[in-house]
């Protein structure tokens, strides 16, 4: 007689299967991976040099030699967008990483220690929520000169608040669950409980929210660069390219449209991926649908 063993599927396998059924999210994932790959390889695969000017050529509309046209200095738009993407994506990822580290640590400590520490820490988050951060970032950029490192930190410092709230809620919730109590009564050490039970169960919401933080960070960077308060030339980012595009959009609309499409498509992809991950990783909607 053969025994049929019930194969348990883990949350992660479930999530992956669900994600694979969500074509929009997969499409988003594909675009993000492609963009990251292109950005990494830009110095080798860009069709022209970043500084390469061709003043004789001037602004030309898209052609076989310049797929996305050239700007008024005859610089290849595709190359500029690729190099700009490196900056935009780097800002997006690094600032999100800053927010992730601060937010997760803050929320986890508040949720795990609880009591008065939790009350004080969450009060601080509440107060910071009420501050007009968009204005503070503009202020910071003015005061400290437009330093790209500072841009990462400033944006990261804004975006960690929601992450802290989510992690705290999740940790508080988990501490009251029966399986954690069971682990305690079995005599497991605090550390074992944290890394066997708390961390894996908090990971889902953290991943989802991280995916959704990246687009909002990139948007903030583009916003600042558009106002001329973010990335400074000779570096460029998508926000800065859009800013230049606006100046000349009457004569050369492609200088606005191509960076605009690139930025929107990226935000689109990240948002769809984030939504898809939320559907896939939310334990309340897994399995039973």
Partner 1 sequence: MLRFAFYRLLQAIPVLLIVISLTFLLVHSAPGGPFSADKAVPPEVIKALEAQYNLDQPLWQQYVSYLGDIVQGDFGPSFKYPGRNVSELIAAGLPATAELAFYAMLVALVIGVSAGVAAAMRPNTAQDYIPMSAAMIGICMPSFLLGPLLVLIFGIHLEWLPVSGWGDMPGDKILPAITLGTGYAAYIARLSRGGMLEVLSQDYIRTARAKGLSEPLVIAKHALRGGLIPVVAFLGPAFAGLLGGSFVVETIFQIPGLGRFYVQAAFNRDYTMILGTTVFFATLIIVFNLLSDMLAIWLNPKLRQQARGES
Q: Which of 29, 82, 110, 222 binds partner 1 (CB under 8 A)?
A: 222
Cis peptide before 143 (omega within 30 of 0): no
Q: Which stretch binds partner 1 (CB under 8 A): 4-12, 151-159, 174-182, 247-255?
A: 247-255
Note whether 151 binds partner 1 by CB under 8 A.
no
Say how far apart CA 9 and CA 179 lie, in whole Å.
18
Residue reference for tokens 């308060």? 229
Using alpha carbons, list the distances in angstroms from residue 222 to 34, 70, 109.
21, 21, 33
Which is closer to partner 1, CB of 112 or CB of 252? Answer: 252
Q: Which stretch binds partner 1 (CB under 8 A): 32-40, 59-67, 92-100, 240-248?
A: 240-248
Three-state DSSP at 64 gives: coil
CB-side exposure of 205: number of CA atoms within 13 Å?
22
Q: Which stretch binds partner 1 (CB under 8 A): 71-79, 99-107, 143-151, 195-203?
A: 143-151
Say how far apart CA 173 and CA 158 lie, in whole Å.
25
What are 70's strand-pairing partners?
Answer: 76
Note whether 229 binds partner 1 by CB under 8 A.
yes
Q: Which of 145, 187, 233, 234 binds partner 1 (CB under 8 A)?
A: 145
DSSP letter, residue 120 = H
Note whether 239 binds partner 1 by CB under 8 A.
yes
Which is closer to partner 1, CB of 1 or CB of 135? Answer: 135
Which is closer to partner 1, CB of 48 or CB of 252? Answer: 252
Q: Which stretch binds partner 1 (CB under 8 A): 35-43, 186-194, 238-246, 276-284?
A: 238-246
Number of residues that bind partner 1 (CB under 8 A): 40
Q: Please report how close the Cβ of residue 126 comes to partner 1 at its closest, in angstroms.
A: 9
Burial 110-121 (b: 16+ CB within 10 A, else e): bbbeeeeebeeb
Which is closer to partner 1, CB of 8 or CB of 145? Answer: 145
Listing DSSP states for 219-285 in one string gives: HHHHHHHHTTSSS-TTS--HHHHHHHHHHTTTT-THHHHHHHHHHHHHHHHHHHHHHHHHHHH-TTT
Q: Please report how close the Cβ of residue 157 comes to partner 1 at its closest, in angstroms.
A: 12
Note whether 244 binds partner 1 by CB under 8 A.
no
Q: Which of residues 83-142 bind partner 1 (CB under 8 A)?
A: 127, 130-132, 134-136, 138-142
Please state the φ and ψ torsions of residue 48, each to the nearest 5 degrees. Answer: -135, 170
Note whether 209 binds partner 1 by CB under 8 A.
no
Q: Which of 230, 245, 274, 276 binds partner 1 (CB under 8 A)?
A: 245
Quickly count: other Cβ atoms within 10 Å of residue 239's Cβ. 26
Q: Which stretch binds partner 1 (CB under 8 A): 46-54, 104-112, 168-176, 267-275?
A: 267-275
Q: Please report how close the Cβ of residue 94 comes to partner 1 at its closest, in angstroms.
A: 20
Say how far apart CA 214 and CA 266 lie, in whole Å.
10
Say how far apart CA 275 and CA 277 lie, in whole Å.
5
Three-state DSSP at 76 gives: strand
Q: Could you list the residues that contact partner 1 (CB under 8 A)?
A: 127, 130-132, 134-136, 138-145, 215, 219, 222-223, 226-229, 239, 242-243, 245-246, 249-250, 253, 256-257, 260, 263-264, 267-268, 271-272
């Amino acid at each position: 007689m053969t025994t049929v063993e019930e194969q348990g599927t883990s949350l992660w396998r479930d999530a992956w299967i669900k994600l694979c059924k969500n074509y929009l999210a997969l499409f988003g994932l594909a675009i993000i991976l492609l963009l990251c790959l292109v950005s990494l390889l830009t110095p080798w695969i860009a069709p022209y040099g970043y500084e390469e000017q061709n003043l004789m050529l001037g602004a030309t509309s898209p052609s076989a030699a310049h797929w996305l046209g050239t700007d008024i200095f005859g610089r290849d738009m595709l190359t500029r967008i690729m190099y700009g993407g490196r900056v935009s994506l780097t800002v997006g990822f690094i600032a999100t990483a800053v927010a992730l580290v601060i937010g997760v640590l803050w929320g986890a400590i508040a949720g795990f220690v609880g009591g008065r520490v939790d009350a004080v820490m969450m009060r601080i988050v509440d107060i910071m929520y009420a501050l007009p951060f968009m204005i503070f970032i503009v202020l910071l950029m003015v005061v400290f000169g437009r330093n790209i490192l500072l841009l990462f930190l400033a944006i990261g410092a804004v975006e960690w608040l929601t992450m802290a709230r989510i992690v705290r809620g999740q940790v508080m919730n988990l501490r009251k669950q029966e399986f954690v109590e069971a682990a305690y009564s079995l005599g497991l050490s605090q550390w074992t409980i944290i890394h066997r039970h708390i961390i894996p169960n908090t990971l889902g919401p953290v991943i989802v929210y991280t995916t959704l933080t990246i687009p909002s960070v990139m948007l903030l960077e583009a916003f600042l660069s558009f106002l001329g308060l973010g990335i400074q030339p000779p570096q460029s980012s998508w926000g800065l390219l859009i800013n230049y595009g606006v100046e000349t959009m009457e004569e050369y609309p492609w200088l606005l449209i191509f960076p605009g499409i690139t930025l929107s498509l990226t935000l689109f992809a990240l948002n769809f991926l984030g939504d898809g991950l939320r559907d896939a990783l939310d334990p309340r909607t897994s399995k039973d649908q």
